[in-house]
Amino acid sequence: MKIKAAVVREKAGPFVIEEVELDEPRPNEVLVRIASSGLCHTDLVARMQFLPIPLPGVFGHEGAGIVEKVGSQVTKVKPGDHVATSFLSCGTCTMCKRGKPCWCSEFRRLNFGGRRPDGSATMKKGRETIYGSFFGQSTFASHALVTERNAVKVPSDVPLEILSPMGCGIQTGAGGVINTLQAKPGSSIAVFGIGSVGLSAIMAAVASGCTQIIGIDIVEDRLKLAREFGATDIINSGKVNPVEQIQKLTGGGIEYTLECTGNPKVFRQAVDSLMMGGTCGLIGVAPVGVEANLEMQTILDGRTIKGIVEGDCISDLFIPQLIELYKKGRFPFDRLLKFYSLDQINEAAEESEKGKTLKAVLKP
């Protein structure tokens, strides 16, 4: 079928709205009419080719929409169902079997390969191959082919236009707190880096009953937002030493920290701010090859560092859980969103890169 898609044709080039041809769903695939698609930092990284994804390609990996058609073997969803789309995993490797699809051994090939697992492409334009299957989806388009495995059924009484960012950014920040750190009621947590991921973490910390929530950033406006979303304290780490400040605020160190910047200096601060036995979750993605220094004595005192991908979650379980919290008014993530039409995708990308937009959502 003919669809509308935002195609990136060259490294660092613009998104170009084009008409391309999308395959019919294979037996395990689901055709989704996209209602909205979140724009995530990883889409922009892919456009810059920091991830070597074949071009011309269609990105977009946080979708929400209505199932239009399903392949012959699909049982999870049927036409008319509302779905959010999340990352793809193989389901058969050791970590998938252990319920940790975020660490699937096939993660790179399935999410960044530009093709289906069998090597075929889902899109073309005339004779030209258009690479898709980005995170098993490619949602910067009017329609996307996803697999049954990464289509998450969502309730139909919540507007689809707000649900797309659930599939990556929101579940990453919230899952870091709820699934990885498993922050206990009454505990203390510091979140380094206040973007949409950091704010999702703060909302999740509030929902989890953390009583001291410290937001750290170098931009005053972001710190103000951290407060609005539930931070009890804020620290401008451009002005004061956040480690000393956290020790002062907590009387010796904090139980949990989350690093959402990918900066090795900030990561060190997040580890050094911990109390003995505390845990630091690392969410921020640093370029390949970047190393971080830590003092070995710090780790010896029972401190733990945990890497977090996609909020350590099983999207089929976690996204409905977050939607339920939203419906109860305990996870107001919709306040992060700013809407654009798909035609305005270049503007949305620019405003996201400049930090003017927390979470851009595109509507075809």
Residue 70 host element (H or E): strand 63-70
Nearer to Zn ion, 4 or 100 (CB): 100
Residue (of 51, 29, 46) closest to 144 by Cα position: 29
User: What distance in Å separates the CA atoms of residue 283 and residue 162, rounded to the nearest whole number?
Assistant: 23
Residue 199: φ, ψ to 5°: -70, -35
Nearer to Zn ion, 149 or 303 (CB): 149
Q: How far is the CB of 61 from Zn ion (least distance, A)?
A: 6
Q: How far is the CB of 103 from Zn ion (least distance, A)?
A: 8
Nearer to Zn ion, 73 or 94 (CB): 94
User: What distance in Å separates the CA atoms of residue 291 and residue 272, rounded to the nearest whole number?
Assistant: 16
Q: How far is the CB of 169 from Zn ion (least distance, A)?
A: 6
Q: How far is the CB of 165 from Zn ion (least distance, A)?
A: 9
40 forms part of the interface with Zn ion (CB under 5 A): yes
Among 35, 154, 162, 168, binds Zn ion (CB under 5 A): 168
Q: How far is the CB of 104 from Zn ion (least distance, A)?
A: 3
Handedness of CA 159, 165, 170, 175 (dihedral sign): positive
Residue 195: partners with Cβ closer than 8 Å, 6 or more residues away: 222, 260, 355, 358
Nearer to Zn ion, 104 or 234 (CB): 104
Residue 222 host element (H or E): helix 220-228
Q: How far is the CB of 133 from Zn ion (least distance, A)?
A: 15
Nearer to Zn ion, 101 or 215 (CB): 101
| Residues in 84-113 that interact with Zn ion by CB under 5 A | 89-90, 93, 96, 104
Nearer to Zn ion, 162 or 234 (CB): 162
Nearer to Zn ion, 101 or 278 (CB): 101
Report CA-CA distances (Å) from 271 to 209, 237, 241, 245: 22, 15, 14, 14
User: What distance in Å separates the CA atoms of residue 174 and residue 301, rounded to the nearest whole number?
Assistant: 27
Residue 4: partners with Cβ closer than 8 Å, 6 or more residues away: 17, 18, 19, 141, 142, 342, 364
Nearer to Zn ion, 105 or 263 (CB): 105
Q: How far is the CB of 92 from Zn ion (least distance, A)?
A: 6
The answer to whether 266 touches 284, Cβ cutoff 8 Å, is yes
Report CA-CA distances (Å) from 32 to 5, 37, 67: 13, 12, 5
Q: How far is the CB of 257 from Zn ion (least distance, A)?
A: 22
Among 25, 29, 39, 42, binds Zn ion (CB under 5 A): 42
Number of residues that bind Zn ion (CB under 5 A): 8
Binding site for Zn ion (CB under 5 A): 40, 42, 89-90, 93, 96, 104, 168
